[in-house]
Structure 1
């Protein structure tokens, strides 16, 4: 798949533009993101949500989660979105400037569809002319724009204070529960370690105690087992599942699958076809 194109106005503002082809990628969000969908659709999946952002919708996406993103052009238009990366350093600076009180640890929804807000809409519209001239939003103007976005978010929904200004790091969480919920994401082992609140060495050590094998071995085994289930029980095609299950290419998936089970993914799908034909013929054949 052709990679998407992103114009980086600054370290905090990104204008994302793709070709007419669908693009997919996995990522670990280390900063929260404010997203305006301009054209096309963005589907983003986390361990707890599957959301489709449509033109005109504004989402606030919480940091410290894996995201599987699919960007899809629609109606013969390029995919198009504008994103604000809400960096902790800018949020901390804003909190100091406004002398905000300490906040409680955020426990709410991680992905929020914001209600229509005339002020926020006007703010985003004011940025669109900069799409043609990216250099006009270089620092320090970009930082001012991010702070303006924060101001408008709090004006429309004051309860977002905890969402924005909770700077706590992931604590050491249940490793087994976390991995079972997130094994499909194709990200480096170090990023799994970070979100479980462990160093890479500590993660590998705890992983071996929990699962009896290394992270890479377990991820391969778990993804292939899930793939076999999808092919056999849900009649899915190899081409429709290999990316969902964290494999970078169909050839890599097919090779690993055959090495694990002794037969290829297509052999499973072909067997399903034969069995389905058998059942159909048995149902329509004359009785007695």
Structure 2
């Protein structure tokens, strides 16, 4: 794939990603499935989780904890196009790395980080790591698997040198903690998540999720989501006086026709007539 400067480009070498573009800002919501380092070579990036926003400038790096939903907005700064590099640390790689550690030297009393977005200090180890990878995103010099593995190891060592709290965060291989199902769904009902996604992000297998859900609701998960979206939509129509064209996307419907049909089936009147009641 050849890099150009007039459109978004993403190169992927195993678990190292390079993104580059020069026009306008690009944003997306994403579920961070694996621990990730993101370094801004040029331009700037905004990361948001709930109401918390962090701005990452040129030469800065951020650590994203796995299993969290984050909004990323990447944009040029002046004439400087956005260029960023990401390192993704998969569970299998971290397990293999952990086997090489002298367990007697582990800081066992250290607690893991609680923030899901952590701005890192600008250390020589972080800067040299990402600057050394820039030449490999020239199409004529693709890195070997050995080089990629070495860079991922450098990333882990750089994190551990910065703060011992990364030990319990990176090397926690226990089963995910079962977070409250309804609490998660109340917070994330408007997102395009499958039932399999919700099961994963609440720390359950699909079978366990379905069994646990029956303990907290008489509805199926799909029916619960539909009811939640429609009830919130009705509240927005009646009390916030919002337009139907605004509401259907806000509550998680993909098209207005589906929304209108479901709304009328539940309440007995179309959403466009709600404000007349």
Question: What TM-score does the superposition give when structure 1 sets the normalisation length?
Answer: 0.74
Alpha-carbon distance in structure 2 between the residues aligned to 1:59 and 1:68: 12
User: 1:112 maps to which residue?
Assistant: 118
1:7 aligns with 2:14: no
Q: 1:54 aligns with which of 30, 53, 56?
A: 56
Q: 1:84 aligns with which of 71, 83, 87?
A: 87
- Asked if 2 retains the 8 angstrom alpha-carbon contact of 1:178 and 1:196, the reply is yes
Alpha-carbon distance in structure 2 between the residues aligned to 1:131 and 1:231: 50
Shift of 1:111: 1.8
- Asked if 2 retains the 8 angstrom alpha-carbon contact of 1:208 and 1:214, the reply is yes
Alpha-carbon distance in structure 2 between the residues aligned to 1:242 and 1:20: 30
Higher helix share: 1
Moved over 6 A (4+): none
User: CA 1:80/1:87 → structure 2, altered by over 3 Å: closer, same or farther?
Assistant: same
User: CA 1:208/1:78 → structure 2, altered by over 3 Å: closer, same or farther?
Assistant: farther
Q: CA RMSD in A?
A: 3.4
1:28 aligns with 2:31: yes
Gaps in structure 2 of 5+ consecutive residues: 1-6
Alpha-carbon distance in structure 1 between the residues aligned to 2:265 and 2:28: 26
Gaps in structure 1 of 5+ consecutive residues: 273-288
Aligned pairs for 1:1-288 within 5 A: 5-10=9-14, 12-17=15-20, 20=23, 23=26, 25-37=28-40, 38-45=42-49, 50-56=52-58, 57-65=60-68, 67-75=69-77, 79-100=82-103, 101=106, 103=108, 106=112, 108-133=114-139, 136-230=142-236, 233-234=239-240, 245-249=251-255, 252-253=258-259, 256-257=262-263, 259-261=265-267, 262-264=269-271
Question: What TM-score does the superposition give when structure 2 sets the normalisation length?
Answer: 0.77
